[in-house]
Amino acid sequence: MKEKGSDHYDVKKFQEVLDESYMMIPDSRARYEKGLDELHSFMKSNEEILANDGDWISVARDFLNENNRELIGVDDECPKTVINDLRDGEDF
């Protein structure tokens, strides 16, 4: 726009809009991450109810997996931490 000799006011307004757009990106990213976290929490806390694997549940699980928020299924088992062999003062 500057090279074409556009009106100074138009260039200034366009720059303001562009700057505002750049400021929206971090906010949008934060809202996206928050939404992923909320979906993950919902799926985790309601996994027994949602175990029927309906179409939307499968889509939500795939979406979470694609975004590195993997769910442990109802049938999957978390590894247990064995603390019986720890000595006094030893961290696990």
pLDDT tens digits, residue range 32-79?
999 999 998 998 888 788 777 678 888 888 888 888 876 654 444 444
User: What is the spatial distance between Cα 18 and Cα 23, in angstroms, rounded to a whole number?
Assistant: 9
pTM for the model stands at 0.55
Query: Using an 8 Å Cβ cutoff, are 43 and 61 in contact?
Result: yes
